[in-house]
């Protein structure tokens, strides 16, 4: 870690120390380091992906939304193999196997992952072929197979192939002068078996046909050659049907699609990097050709050809996935998003503005009087964008500072920062170039901001800047006044319509001073600055959370009511898990709303009987993070950019900001209660690591938290 990142060592105050002492007095009768108490991180991630796939079978969900869930599963699995499986394979290859609290070595984890993934991917294609596609066909949306083409359609496909496809295709015959080509990660390719001798006397019998990435994978056929509805043909079907045209005079004995998944994680050594942006550009190119981790082939591909491909890529048979359909299902998103079928999608809704922001043009005046808390997507993200736009134009605004993690080079947020810089304001942007799979976009936005005159900082070497914060300084009546935005999500308007997140707009002097100090730490150099309200990783956040869990444990041990509610995307940090186990043993009632990975086992006798873990998958991606503590009748509530993972608490710059005042606290508490009473989209984690759906009992009213929030805040239902 950089030498400037020196941990704060000031002693805790007397009340905290007393709570810690009382919590320490709770001696568990079991070993909280027992590996049986922990779920393997990657296996838990796989369970989350399965929960997403399950949504494709939920008849209460509109058809095209079910298709989306199936495609999201496909995309999630791609990333799972590119990052998680690749990481485990790398450990095995380097003989450097890291074993976590669950005590499962990488080799065993890979074997379990392979077994589960094969079963679920086979299930995915069965759902597609037996449920989704037939139901789509009933609604007039068809992917027409080669065997179903009419004469007119065959003629049209042949003309399209010859005019639009064949000129761009480069078939590669395999022989000593044409070795097996280096194929791009996740690209569509075909292995072709040939018979005959070509013009040069070559007769290797094999060729590879890479599908040009510039071509669409799904082509809509003209209405005049179809019998109504929307009819599509796959590029792979076109290539299969006309493969012989690519090899004139040769006989095509077979043509089979395949796709290779590679390691897509970036490996930058902070010690060897002098220019992060330059190094990252090189790594982005390398990502396309990382080590192979998975091979997908058409399920009709002969065994000898599949084995040939495995040998070329250095993969084992367990890493082969035979699929009954397109090898890249994510390309079907264009159908799932077709606006021509509103009845097959979630009903639209309009995010609302809170009353305090309605009919006002002076956001500074409103925020100067009171904190404004927004819950996206139910409440609009536009006040955050408008706040920045106003600041860019306001002659009284002197400086704007902002962190950017996932934003987009051409977003409204970046437009406003560019305008502010061009208007002569001091604009500082802390851009996290290493936001996974957004690196290229972030390089572009960093360049754009620099060209406009903004100061662009890439954060701290070796530590990602994941905090979501904005600071505006404005001259008012001769004095400098600060305004801040703190959020649990990214500065991305598109995500703000799909993800649930909180935004706090505030002029609280103490909190704004803390935000100013954190920006100073990120852009300058110096020791850790003491903050009065803001908790920040990698310095005070984990320590404070453990102390607050310990305090709740002490309250329970003293016979007082004690309760903890956490809402996060992931829970993997062993120290936090052990602290929660200890709190459960003491009698603290603990509810954890964990959308994705959870390594804690709830419901274990004598350890976690007081802990309940639920995952909610629905129309919106549950992304907000909240930490609520009963605190002996004086509740403490923090909203945060951080999940409860080692990387977030130890190796990232994160924030957790307090929500103060009974009115705002009650708003968040009521929303959390809706999550805990949801009985239509919740799944409860069992001690064995499996998830069981929650269902409304006899006489109970069906409750869906997202539907309830839509109705309560927007006055609209979700169609679920």
- Least confident segment among 303-307, 417-421, 455-459, 604-608: 455-459
Q: Domains of the chain: which residue ranges?
A: 14-37+536-714, 43-344, 355-533
Give me the pLDDT at residue 288, please.
Answer: 59
Q: Give residue 16's pLDDT band: very low, low, confident or very high (50, 70, 90).
A: very low
Q: Give residue 17's pLDDT band: very low, low, confident or very high (50, 70, 90).
A: low
Give me the pLDDT at residue 418, please.
Answer: 93
Mean pLDDT of 593-610: 97
Q: Collapsing DSSP states into helix, strand and coil, what is residue 414?
A: helix
Mean pLDDT of 667-681: 96
Give me the pLDDT at residue 24, please.
Answer: 59
Say how many C-beta atoms besides its own lie within 10 A of residue 87's C-beta: 15
Give me the pLDDT at residue 302, please.
Answer: 96
Give me the pLDDT at residue 501, please.
Answer: 97
**pLDDT above 90 (res 583):** yes
The structure tokens listed for 255 are 């043509």
- Return d(Cα 197, Cα 177) in angstroms, integer: 16
**pLDDT above 90 (res 204):** no
Mean pLDDT of 154-162: 97
Name the catalytic one among 240, 376, 466, 485: 466
Q: Give residue 8's pLDDT band: very low, low, confident or very high (50, 70, 90).
A: very low
The most confident of the ranges 1-10, 200-209, 237-246 is: 237-246
Sign of CA dihedral 413, 414, 415, 416: positive
**pLDDT above 60 (res 269):** no
- Return d(Cα 103, Cα 196) in angstroms, integer: 56
Q: Give residue 200's pLDDT band: very low, low, confident or very high (50, 70, 90).
A: low
**pLDDT above 60 (res 267):** no
Q: 502 labelled as ligand-binding? A: no
Q: Which of 121, 43, 51 is nearest to 294 (CA)?
A: 121
Q: 623 labelled as ligand-binding? A: yes
Whose structure tokens read 């380097």? 94
pLDDT by residue (tens digit) across 95-115?
888 899 999 999 999 999 999
Say which CATH topology domain 43-344 has: polyphosphate kinase like (3.30.1840)
Residues in contact with 324: Cβ distance below 8 Å, sequence separation at least 6, in sequence order? 125, 126, 129, 299
Give me the pLDDT at residue 436, please.
Answer: 67
Burial 284-318 (b: 16+ CB within 10 A, else e): eeebeebebbbbbbbeebeeebbeebbebbebeee
Q: 502 vs 21, which has greater pLDDT?
A: 502
Give me the pLDDT at residue 478, please.
Answer: 85
For the sheet containing 320-323, what is the strand order?
Answer: 172-173, 206-210, 188-195, 251-262, 292-298, 320-323
Angle separating helix axes 439-452 and 276-287, nearest 10 degrees: 150
Q: 595 labelled as ligand-binding? A: yes
Residue 291 φ/ψ, nearest 5 degrees: -60, 145
What's the CATH number for 355-533? 3.30.870.10
Give me the pLDDT at residue 298, please.
Answer: 95
Give me the pLDDT at residue 22, please.
Answer: 52
- Return d(Cα 320, Cα 300) in angstroms, integer: 13
Any idea what DSSP says for residue 377?
A: T
Sign of CA dihedral 133, 57, 139, 67: negative
Q: Give residue 438's pLDDT band: very low, low, confident or very high (50, 70, 90).
A: low
Q: Name beta bridge partners: 465.
A: 653
Mean pLDDT of 37-51: 96
Q: 20 labelled as ligand-binding? A: no
Q: 406 labelled as ligand-binding? A: yes
Q: Give residue 10's pLDDT band: very low, low, confident or very high (50, 70, 90).
A: very low
Give me the pLDDT at residue 435, please.
Answer: 57
Task: Return the percentage of the chain with pLDDT > 70, whole number.
Answer: 90
Say which CATH topology domain 14-37+536-714 has: Endonuclease; Chain A (3.30.870)
Give me the pLDDT at residue 527, please.
Answer: 81
Q: Give residue 52's pLDDT band: very low, low, confident or very high (50, 70, 90).
A: very high
Torsion of CA 566, 570, 576, 581, to 10 degrees: 70
Give me the DSSP letters along 434-486.
TSTT-HHHHHHHHHHHHHHT-EEE--BTTBEE--EEEEEEEEETTEEEEEEEE
Q: Which of 267, 248, 81, 69 is nearest to 171 (CA)?
A: 248
Angle separating helix axes 382-393 and 412-422, nearest 10 degrees: 10
Q: Give residue 23's pLDDT band: very low, low, confident or very high (50, 70, 90).
A: low
Task: Return the percentage of the chain with pLDDT > 90, whole number.
Answer: 73
User: Distance of CA 125 to CAs 120, 168, 326, 641, Å?
Assistant: 9, 30, 9, 36
- Catalytic residue check, 466: yes
> If you average pLDDT over every residue of the chain, what do you get?
89
Give me the pLDDT at residue 194, please.
Answer: 92
**pLDDT above 50 (res 3):** no
- Count the helices and strands in the chain (H runs, E runs): 21, 27
**pLDDT above 70 (res 281):** no
SS (H, E, C) 361-374: CCHHHHHHHCCEEE
Residue 543 φ/ψ, nearest 5 degrees: -60, -45
Mean pLDDT of 66-86: 95
Give me the pLDDT at residue 274, please.
Answer: 46
Mean pLDDT of 677-682: 95
Contact status, residue 378 vs residue 618, Cβ threshold 8 Å = no
Q: Which of 537, 554, 516 is nearest to 625 (CA)?
A: 537
Angle separating helix axes 541-557 and 574-586, nearest 10 degrees: 10
- Return d(Cα 456, Cα 453) in angstroms, integer: 9
Give me the pLDDT at residue 545, please.
Answer: 98
Fold: same for 14-37+536-714 and 43-344: no
- Least confident segment among 64-78, 338-352, 422-436: 422-436
Give me the pLDDT at residue 387, please.
Answer: 95
Q: 286 vs 56, which has greater pLDDT?
A: 56
- Return d(Cα 102, Cα 16) in angstroms, integer: 31
């Amino acid at each position: 870690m950089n030498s400037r990142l020196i941990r704060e060592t000031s002693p805790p105050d007397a009340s905290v120390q007393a709570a810690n002492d009382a919590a320490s007095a709770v001696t568990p009768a079991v070993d909280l380091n027992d590996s049986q108490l922990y779920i393997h991180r990657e296996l838990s991630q796989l369970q989350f992906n399965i929960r997403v796939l399950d949504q494709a079978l939920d008849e209460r969900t509109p058809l095209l939304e079910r298709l989306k869930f199936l495609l999201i599963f496909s995309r999630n699995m791609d990333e799972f193999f590119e990052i998680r499986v690749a990481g485990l394979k790398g450990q095995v290859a380097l003989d450097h196997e890291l074993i976590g609290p669950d005590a499962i070595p990488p080799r065993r984890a890979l074997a379990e992952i392979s077994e589960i993934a094969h079963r679920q991917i086979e299930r995915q294609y069965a759902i597609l072929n037996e449920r989704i596609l037939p139901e789509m066909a009933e609604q007039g949306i068809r992917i027409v197979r080669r065997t179903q083409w009419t004469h007119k359609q065959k003629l049209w496909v042949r003309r399209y192939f010859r005019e639009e496809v064949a000129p761009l295709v480069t078939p590669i015959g395999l022989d000593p002068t044409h070795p097996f080509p280096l194929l791009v990660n996740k690209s569509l390719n075909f292995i072709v078996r040939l018979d005959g001798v070509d013009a040069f006397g070559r007769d290797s019998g094999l060729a590879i046909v890479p599908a040009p990435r510039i071509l669409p994978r799904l082509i809509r056929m003209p209405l005049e050659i179809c019998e109504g509805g929307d009819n599509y043909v796959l590029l792979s079907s076109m290539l299969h049907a006309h493969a012989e045209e690519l090899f004139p005079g040769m006989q095509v004995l077979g043509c089979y699609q395949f796709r290779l998944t590679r390691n897509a994680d970036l490996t930058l050594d902070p010690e060897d990097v002098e220019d992060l942006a330059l190094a990252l550009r090189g790594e982005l190119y390398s990502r396309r050709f990382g080590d192979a981790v998975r091979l997908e082939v058409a399920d009709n591909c002969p065994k000898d050809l599949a084995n040939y491909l495995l040998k070329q890529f250095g993969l084992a048979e367990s890493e082969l996935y035979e699929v009954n359909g397109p090898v890249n299902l994510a390309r079907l998103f264009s159908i799932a998003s077709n606006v021509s079928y509103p009845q097959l999608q979630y009903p639209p809704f309009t995010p609302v503005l809170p009353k305090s922001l309605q009919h006002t043009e002076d956001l500074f005046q409103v925020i100067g009087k009171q904190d404004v808390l927004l819950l996206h997507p139910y409440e609009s993200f536009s006040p955050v964008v408008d706040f920045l736009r106003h600041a860019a134009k306001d002659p009284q605004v002197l400086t704007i500072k902002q962190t950017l993690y996932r934003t987009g080079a051409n977003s409204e947020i970046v437009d406003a920062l560019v305008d502010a810089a061009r208007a002569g304001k001091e604009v500082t942007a802390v851009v996290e170039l290493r936001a996974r799979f957004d690196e290229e976009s972030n390089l572009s936005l960093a360049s754009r901001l620099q060209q406009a005159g903004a100061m662009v900082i890439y954060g701290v070497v070796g530590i990602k800047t994941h905090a979501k914060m904005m600071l505006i300084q404005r001259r008012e009546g001769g004095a400098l006044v600060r305004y801040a935005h703190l959020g649990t999500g990214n500065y991305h308007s598109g995500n703000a319509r799909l993800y649930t997140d909180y935004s706090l707009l505030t002029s609280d002097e103490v909190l704004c001073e803390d935000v100013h100090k954190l920006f100073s730490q990120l852009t300058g150099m110096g020791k850790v600055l003491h903050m009065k309200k803001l908790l920040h990783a990698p310095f005070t956040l984990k320590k404070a959370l453990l102390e607050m869990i310990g305090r709740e444990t002490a309250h329970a041990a003293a016979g007082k009511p004690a309760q903890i509610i956490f809402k996060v995307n992931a829970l993997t940090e062993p120290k936090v898990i052990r602290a929660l186990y200890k709190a459960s043993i003491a009698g603290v009632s603990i509810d954890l709303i964990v959308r994705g990975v959870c390594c804690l086992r709830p419901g274990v006798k004598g350890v976690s009987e007081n802990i309940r873990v639920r995952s909610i998958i629905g129309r919106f991606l549950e992304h907000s993070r909240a930490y609520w503590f009963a605190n002996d009748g004086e509740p403490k509530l923090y909203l945060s950019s951080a999940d409860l993972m080692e990387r977030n608490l130890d190796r990232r710059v994160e924030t957790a900001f307090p929500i103060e005042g009974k009115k705002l606290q009650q708003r968040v508490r009521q929303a959390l209660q809706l999550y805990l009473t949801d009985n239509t989209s919740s799944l409860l984690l069992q001690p064995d690591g499996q998830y069981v759906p929650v269902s409304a009992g006899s006489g109970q009213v069906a409750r869906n938290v997202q539907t309830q929030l839509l109705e309560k805040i927007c006055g609209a239902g979700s169609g679920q």
